Amino acid sequence: SSGRSGGLNNLDNGGAPDAKNLRVKLVLLGDSGVGKSCIVLRFVRGQFDPTSKVTVGASFLSQTIALQDSTTVKFEIWDTAGQERYAALAPLYYRGAAVAVIVYDITSPESFTKAQYWVKELQKHGSPDIVMALVGNKADLQDSREVPAQDGIDYAEKNGMFFIETSAKTADNINQLFESVSVQLSCSRKLLSD
Ligand code: GDP
């Protein structure tokens, strides 16, 4: 039955016995400037256009992924729209989220520290079965890298999170990020319903 997992709802699947259509609230967290909006635009529109900043307000962008086992996952993606400065608003923002994508910039150690703050915050206040992904973005800027990939890998492993490095600019690993999250969701969904 639906509703056991925060933000994860089983929609009418049109009668196909094995099909599962999941609708998922996904929130993006991370310092301003790490590339959250660019990641969403790359995923949803296939573009890299830093000038057309998404202003979501009370709304969100959505994108559906089809998995091999005929599950579809419709992501309702919430971007902070600059609200990362107002920590007090955060619980309203990630309430009901099934997925949190926590982004840092591999050229910015400060943003990596901030990402760890968000992980702790979600461990305290998020849904207990939230799927968390740690994302090191701007992986195209290898020459300016200041956060070793291994640091991200180690931190993610300690905290039971999925880890990936992406580039919204070159599109590297952007689809893989959302596909991996989908697979994890559909697995935890199976565990719930079996
Ligand atoms: P947000 O504040 O986290 O939403 O960050 P934005 O998506 O607005 O991006 C901030 C800046 O980083 C913009 O100038 C983007 O052009 C740049 N940016 C975002 N993603 C990448 C990336 O993968 N590589 C590079 N080189 N720049 C990026």
Cα atoms in the Cβ-side hemisphere of radius 13 Å centred on 28: 32
Rounded to whole angstroms, the Cα distance separating 175 from 90 reads: 26
pLDDT for 81 = 59
- Asked whether 115 lines ligand 1 (CB < 6 A), one says no
pLDDT for 68 = 79
pLDDT for 56 = 47
pLDDT for 4 = 42
Q: Which of 2-16, 82-96, 125-139, 169-183 has the lowest mean pLDDT?
A: 2-16
For β-strands 71-78 and 20-29, DSSP reports them as: parallel
Phi and psi at residue 36, in whole multiples of 5°? -60, -50
Nearest CA to 177 among 44, 71, 51, 13?
Answer: 44
Q: What is the Å distance from ligand 1's center to 157 Cα?
A: 26
pLDDT for 107 = 98
Q: In ligand 1, which atom is closest to the CA atom of 82?
A: 2
Q: List residues bridging with 104 in a β-sheet.
A: 136
3-class SS of residue 30:
coil
pLDDT for 2 = 39
Nearest-10 crossing angle of helices 109-125, 149-158: 10
pTM: 0.85
Closest residue CA from atom 15 of ligand 1? 50
Rounded mean pLDDT, 104-108: 98
Q: What is the Å distance from ligand 1's center to 50 Cα?
A: 7
| pLDDT: which is higher, 164 or 6 | 164
pLDDT for 1 = 37
Q: Is the pLDDT of residue 26 over 60?
A: yes
Q: Which of 45-49, 147-151, 178-182 has the lowest mean pLDDT?
A: 45-49
3-class SS of residue 69:
coil
Nearest CA to 146 among 109, 112, 115?
Answer: 109
Q: What is the Å distance from ligand 1's center to 172 Cα?
A: 14
This complex has an ipTM of: 0.99
